[in-house]
Amino acid sequence: MSNQPSDEQRTLFSTSRRRFLGAAALTGAVATVGAFEARSQEGTQTDEIHPVYGFPAASGDVSPPVDPDHEVTLDIRPVEGRERPEFLFDPVGLAVEAGDVVRFTNALGAHTVTAYHPELERTLRVPNGANPYSSPLLATGSYWLYRFDQPGIYDMYCIPHEEFGMVGRVMVGEPPATGTPEETATGTETTTAARTGTATETGTETTPSPTGTPTTGTETGTPEGTPTEPPSNGEFDLPQFPPTEAAMRVFDDPLLAPENIVEQGSVAWSDLSNETRGLPTTEEPTEQTFTVDLSGENQVPPVDTEAVGEGVLTLSGTSLDYEIGVSDIEDVTQAHIHEGAADENGPVLYTLVEYTGNVDGSGEGQPRSIIGDNVLVIEGTVEDVDPTLFETPETLYVNVHTVDNPSGEIRGQLMDEEATPTETPSGETPTTETETGTPSGETETATGTGTATGTETTETS
């Protein structure tokens, strides 16, 4: 049996298609449902899948005329934190073989499965010669079958929800050698009458570019982006509208490239990027930088020492990178970030380095000392920090402990990077980097208590 509809069927479709789009799109779809129901009641075309109308079923209880080879779900899914849900085909990309039958099952809402075709007032995004297929308006729980006989790429959309990006792509057979989303048009548009053997009109035809954006191929030099000359229905010329912006965003997703669909077999809606789906993109954590100047005078009570230090700490999300250089200090045991204002001592929040098991030098490990112009650099990353604590950096301080001063020999409050750092007691700032910004000298690594990995770099002048 031929897959081409009869003249009578073509006439029926030509008459009803004008109700399908524009302001009365939904009304037209509902009218089509009535036509399907009437035909079903008459017992006509219920034993096969029509090449234009497919096979609609009001519910899952209706037995299909053939077992489908694949299934696509039409759905509406909520989006956390947003009032408008997602409207989708899932999978949104599907690879099939010529002759395969696809079942489109409506899980929720009212949807259609409609071809991008000039006879439906849309730019051509199906293979040349393919029928202007469309389901009726499908209610929740209903399904629609369609057989894809001709190789090529079939782009389709839901009439009520295309503006929200509810589109899908079926790849029949192998992708085109040119890599374009649809087969390249020949520049000749064949009208409905021509396919029924009565007339042929030559004009322009729109074909998508490799990125999925429709471009115009023409023998008459029609400018790119200009609506093509559609076939006349004897009354007026129908316009040809391209996909909506949201629809093109979906078609342009790299995962829907024909070769990828064939390679993967199918592409789930959830696999697409947030940008493609119109969801808020995950923003990179905002970095916040703090500086710290350490001295014995900052201790509570003050400690008489020649030791000084300075450092930079960078908070990104819940990760804290730090690099702290200290000099003229003997027997360093541990270093921490404490909670407390400048005039008070507070508890340890995060460990930066542990050279010994305890702050007094006891336990496993050996203290570290640095004298003269050398610098001991303590650096590493603390994970899983509470970023809210750093909203008030003045309530946090870095404390370096030694054998002689287990409560802390030098300390300094965290400051925003923009704040002017205080001068160290010696009036000089220890140098912790070379001219190229890369620490020099021998490097040793010490692992902390599990909250951070600290690295010490001994720099020489």
| Residues 398 and 301 grouped into a single domain | yes
pLDDT in tens, the chain (461 residues): 444 544 544 433 333 333 333 333 444 444 444 444 443 444 344 458 999 999 999 999 999 999 999 999 999 999 988 889 999 999 999 999 999 999 999 999 999 999 999 999 999 999 999 999 999 999 999 999 999 999 999 999 999 999 999 999 999 999 987 654 544 333 333 333 333 333 333 333 434 433 333 333 333 333 333 444 555 555 667 889 999 999 999 999 999 999 999 999 999 999 999 999 988 766 666 789 999 999 999 999 999 999 999 999 999 989 999 999 999 999 999 999 999 999 999 999 999 999 999 999 999 999 999 988 899 999 999 999 999 999 999 999 999 999 999 999 999 999 987 644 444 344 444 433 333 233 333 333 333 333 344 444 554 44
The tally of CA atoms less than 13 A away on the side-chain side of residue 356 is: 18
Helix ranges (DSSP H) in 143-264: 192-195, 245-251, 258-264
| Residues 270 and 359 grouped into a single domain | no
Confirm whether 317 is domain-assigned.
yes
| Residues 186 and 323 grouped into a single domain | no
408 membership: H or E segment, kind and range: none
Q: Which of 233, 255, 277 corresponds to the end of one domain?
A: 277
| Residues 62 and 164 grouped into a single domain | yes
Confirm whether 326 is domain-assigned.
yes
Q: Which of 277, 303, 330 corresponds to the end of one domain?
A: 277
Token pair of 370 as six digits: 């640095």
| Residues 222 and 158 grouped into a single domain | yes
Cβ neighbour number for residue 301 with a 10 Å cutoff: 7
Confirm whether 423 is domain-assigned.
yes
Residue 82's DSSP bridge partners are: 79
pLDDT for 439: 33
Burial of 288 (0-12, 13-18, 19+ CB in 10 A): middle
Cβ neighbour number for residue 52 with a 10 Å cutoff: 20
Range of 47's domain? Answer: 7-277
Q: Using CA atoms, how far apart are residues 321 and 336, in angstroms rounded to an integer?
A: 13
Sign of torsion over alpha carbons 273, 276, 279, 285 = positive
pLDDT for 418: 63
Token pair of 365 as six digits: 């490990």
Backbone angles phi, psi at 16, to 5 degrees: -85, -20
Confirm whether 282 is domain-assigned.
no
205 membership: H or E segment, kind and range: strand 205-208
- CB contact at 8 A, 173 and 151: yes
| Residues 219 and 296 grouped into a single domain | no
| Residues 144 and 271 grouped into a single domain | yes
Confirm whether 314 is domain-assigned.
yes
Token pair of 202 as six digits: 């030559």
For 76-103, the pLDDT digits (tens) are 999 988 889 999 999 999 999 999 999 9
For tokens 């792509």, name the residue.
169
Give the DSSP per-residue string, 340-361: --TTS---EEEEEEESBSSTTS
- CB contact at 8 A, 194 and 119: no
- CATH classification at residue 121: 2.60.40.420
Pairing type for strands 100-106 and 70-79 reads parallel
CA 355 to chain centre: 44
Confirm whether 1 is domain-assigned.
no
- CATH classification at residue 377: 2.60.40
Amino acid at 62: V
Amino acid at 42: E
Q: What's the structural domain count of the chain?
A: 2
Q: Using CA atoms, how far apart are residues 86 and 90, in angstroms rounded to an integer?
A: 11
Closest CA to 338 of 398, 391, 416, 411: 398
| Residues 232 and 250 grouped into a single domain | yes
Beta strands in 317-435 (DSSP E): 319-327, 329-339, 348-354, 368-370, 375-382, 396-402, 410-413, 415-416
| Residues 137 and 266 grouped into a single domain | yes
Residue 171's DSSP bridge partners are: 95, 153
Q: What is the pTM of this model?
A: 0.49
- Separation of first and last alpha carbons in the chain: 91
Confirm whether 387 is domain-assigned.
yes
- In three-state secondary structure terms, 258 is helix
pLDDT for 281: 66
| Residues 331 and 394 grouped into a single domain | yes
| Residues 305 and 368 grouped into a single domain | yes
Peptide bond into 430 cis (omega under 30): no
Confirm whether 316 is domain-assigned.
yes
pLDDT for 234: 59
12 membership: H or E segment, kind and range: helix 7-17
pLDDT for 107: 97
Q: Which of 225, 257, 277 corresponds to the end of one domain?
A: 277
| Residues 230 and 93 grouped into a single domain | yes
